[in-house]
Amino acid sequence: MSSSAFVDGTMVIFRLAPQDYHRFHVPVSGIIEQFVDIPGCLYTVNPIAVNSKYCNVFTENKRVVSIISTVDFGKVAFVAIGATMVGSITFTKKKGDHVKKGDEFGYFSFGGSTVICVFEKNSITIDQDLLINSTRPLETLVSVGMRLGVSTETVMI
C-alpha cells in the first residue's frame, strides 16, 4: 500500500507515559492488510522531545506500521512507535485477521511510547473537544472505548 493514500488525511497521536497501561487496542473494525517494520532509534517521546527541533521521534524512532482495511473509514494506518526502554513492540494479531474495534492489538514491553492513527482524507470527523484541546496545545487523557470521532461516510473496500 502506498503512503499516498494518506496525503492530507487526519492524524491522531496517543502518547503513553511510563505509568500508563502499555497495551494498545484496535481503533476500528476491519481486516489487517499488512505490517511493515521500520528500524530506527529509541528516543524518548515525552512532550519536550516531541516538540524538539533537533529530532523527529515520529520518523526517526523504531516503528511498526499496520494497515487496516475498514468499511467505515477506508484504510487506516496504525503506527506503533518505540521509545527509550520500549524498543520491543509486540502485536497480538496477524495479517489477514478480522479485528473488531477495541480488540487488543499488542503491547510495548516497558516505559512510555506512542501510537499514531492516520485516516484517509475526509474519512473521519474528529470530536470538537479534541480539536479544541489540540489548538492550545493540550494533551487529552483518553481511554479504551472513548469516542474520538465519527466516519464521514461509508467507504467501499
- Domains of the chain are 4-122 (2.70.70)
- Could you give phi then psi for residue 17, rounded to 5 degrees? -90, 160
Max Cα–Cα distance, the chain, nearest Å: 41
Give pLDDT tens digits for 135-148. Answer: 987 788 888 888 99
Give pLDDT tens digits for 98-155. Answer: 999 999 999 887 655 788 899 999 999 999 999 999 898 778 888 888 899 999 975 5
What local confidence, expressed as pLDDT, does residue 29 receive?
96
Q: Terminal CA-to-CA distance of the chain, rounded, Å? A: 13
Task: Say if residues 82 and 115 touch (Cβ distance below 8 Å).
Answer: no
Q: Which of the four pLDDT bands, split at 50, 70 and 90, describes residue 19?
A: confident
Q: How far is CA 85 from the centre of its chain?
A: 19
C-alpha cell at 58: 515520529
Side-chain half-sphere exposure of 132, counting CA atoms within 13 A: 3
